[in-house]
Structure 1
Amino acid sequence: MPRPSFGIMTAPSQVDYQEVLRVWREADTIPQIEHAWLFDHLMPIFGDPAGSAYEGWTLLSALAAQTQRLRLGVMVTSNRFRPPAMLAKIATTVDIVSNGRLDFGIGAGSRPSWPQAQREYEAHGLPFHDAAYAVGSLAEACTVIRRLWTEGEPFDFDGTYHKLTGAFGNPKPVQRPHPPILIGGRSSATLRVVAEHADIWNIPGGDIEDVICRSALLDRYCAEIGRDPASITRSIHLSVSYDEPGVTQDAIGEATDAGFQHIVLGLSAPYPADVARWVADKLIA
């Protein structure tokens, strides 16, 4: 089995921009750390509800301009926040700023049962449809975004959830045919979208037996549409314990044993000094 790739996640909430920038610049100098991620929330979902929360894609573009090597992305973009054609344009811009280092992360958006997340939609005047609507919209969004990245002529799109007239994307992303598409989620409905559209599938860590079952379900959905399940890289987000690194090391071992080859290590703020070096030495090595 190939060596897994390791990355870090710095949630851009309850933390200053300069602190996030410090960690990303440090990680950019450490070859064992291959990718770095932000999340996509407009208001805090943990800690002080009146605390800071940066807009993920704007911050990602700034960090892309301040790094040279790391692959980078948002894990994962809420498809509920931005129309797909606008999101395709934003992502293209980041891919160009980063000179082709974007991994495009997207998902259906926050669960309706999670009040801490739902309030950000109400606070920003955004609609919050049910889960079935969100997943259907995600599938159409993936189609629209890929077409905007790859097609050379304007097109119309008459979907159930999205309708575009004369849609066209210029410039195109640096990466051809397009940046890798990472879809995050664990529901059965989302996994069907993953099977059809994703290059990488990400799931939050937790109960490893459930993670393994979800991966097997994705295999089944791939088989149903004639896709090789091995063509989708398995990715997992694992929270890092600074005080008990052995707990994180064990979780990494379980994930890699289960076939997950794209490991995202979630760092909580405040970030210790030289935290990226610590991650490389204590968790990756």
Structure 2
Amino acid sequence: MSTEAPHPYSKYPVRIGVQVQPQHAEYADIRRTVAAAEEIGVDIAFNWDHFYPLSGEPDGLHFEAWTMLGAWAEATERIEIGCLVTCNTYRNADLLADMARTVDHISNGRLILGIGSGWFERDYDEYGYEFGTAGGRLDALAESLPRIEQRWAKLNPAPTRDIPVLIGGGGEKKTLKLVAKHATIWHGFGDAETIAHKHEVLDAHCAAIGRDPGEIERSTAVGDKSPEELGKAMLDVGTRLFTVSTSGPKYDLGLLRDWVAWRDEVNQA
């Protein structure tokens, strides 16, 4: 199996994430699923930052993301943890920075700050946030990212490491420009051709500010695709972090096992 790719960001090893969607399940089931994923050998466990289910019964069981990450920090030992992704406008930026720093310490340096501009209108309406426009929410994210970085520099104690920042989204004029300036991981969506194009746009934004595009790990969700269906095509365009999603009430980790086995085969080649 070839892993060659003509991209500077192909230097990263393949990593596998799992998004344990905190919907339609009791927390005990979520905790057991994260523990099982760590035992399988996953690299990162994500949840998501919403207040209601995104599929199935709209008013089904659901839990909040960041309090859950604090629990995961204590309940896990090896894997990195984070939101895929935090909605920027649900929390004051300086508070979010402090929350992230705290979970970073609880986990002994295993937090990834996944963040995006937000999109799920029901969350905003039910919790009293202003939904506004997509452009306005991206502008708010652009204002928050420097505040987060500045707050990390002021906190005592400081974060245990330079907390990795994952930004999700593919907007070429605003989002990818923010990725170039602030992120260590970019999480995108689409087929290999789409992702390759987004990588080119992101690389151009990096060049414009003098940043090495190889500093940004490239990530995507796998949907229901197997490694045989998706793996090589994404490798060839430079993707190195692949995330499998699973939802309650019965979390199925069969596809995750396939991707972890594929990761080991690729990384050992």
Q: TM-score over 0.5 for the alignment?
A: yes
Tell me how far 1:277 sits from its aligned partner: 4.5
Deviations 1:2-53 (A, max 9, x none): 431111111111222122211211222344x211111111111211011122
TM-score by length of 1: 0.83
**1:138 is aligned with what amino acid?**
L
Given the alignment, which residue of 68, 74, 89 partners 1:65? Answer: 74
Mapping of residues 237-256 of structure 1, within 5 Å: 237-240=221-224, 247-256=226-235
Aligned-CA RMSD value: 2.0
Matched AA of 2:224: V
Gaps of 5+ in 2: 1-9
Q: Residue type of the partner of 1:239? A: G
TM-score (norm: length of structure 2): 0.87
Cα 1:274–1:212 change in 2 (3 A) is closer
**Mapping of residues 1-285 of structure 1, within 5 Å:** 1-2=10-11, 3-31=13-41, 33-110=42-119, 117-151=120-154, 169-175=155-161, 178-188=162-172, 189-204=174-189, 206-240=190-224, 247-269=226-248, 270-272=250-252, 277=257, 279-281=259-261, 285=265
The count of aligned residue pairs is 253
Residue 5 (structure 2) aligns with: none
Q: Distance in 1 between matches of 2:98 and 2:73?
A: 16
The percentage of counterpart residues that share the same residue type is: 34
CA contact (8 A) 2:246 2:252 kept: no
Counterpart position of 1:162: none
Classify 1:44/1:272 alpha carbon distance in 2 versus 1 (closer, same or farther; 3 Å).
closer
Q: Cα 1:147–1:122, aligned 2, differ >3 Å: closer, same or farther?
A: same
Q: Helix, strand or coil for the counterpart of 2:239?
A: coil
Measured in 2, the distance between the counterparts of 1:15 and 1:284 equals 30
Q: Could you tell which deviates more after superposition, 127-136 or 84-93? A: 127-136
Which residue does 1:159 correspond to in 2? none
Question: For 2:244, what is the secondary structure of its paired residue?
Answer: strand
Matched residues in 2 for 1:79 and 1:90: separation? Answer: 13
CA contact (8 A) 1:219 1:229 kept: yes
Q: Larger helix proportion, structure 1 or 2? A: 2
Residue 157 of structure 2 aligns with an amino acid whose one-letter code is P
Structure-2 change in CA distance of 1:257 and 1:200 (3 Å): same
Secondary structure class of the residue paired with 1:9: strand
Query: Residue by residue, what CA displacement relative to the aligned partner does 1:229-276 show, whole Å, maximum 9, x if unpaired?
Result: 1111111111236xxxxx453212221111011111222332237775
Aligned equivalents of 2:100 and 2:179: distance in 1? 19
Deviation per residue, 1:119-146 (Å, 9 max, x gap):
1211111111212221121122110111
Q: Counterpart amino acid of 2:164? A: P
Deviation at 1:97, TM superposition (A): 0.9
> Are residues 149 and 9 of structure 1, via their aligned partners in 2, closer, same or farther at CA, if it must alter by over 3 Å?
same
SS at match of 1:148: helix
State the 1:203 CA deviation.
Answer: 1.0
Partner SS for 1:80 = helix
Q: Contact 1:14–1:52 (CA<8 Å) still a contact in 2?
A: yes
| Matched-pair contact (CA < 8 Å) for 1:26–1:276 | no
Q: Which amino acid aligns with 2:108?
A: N
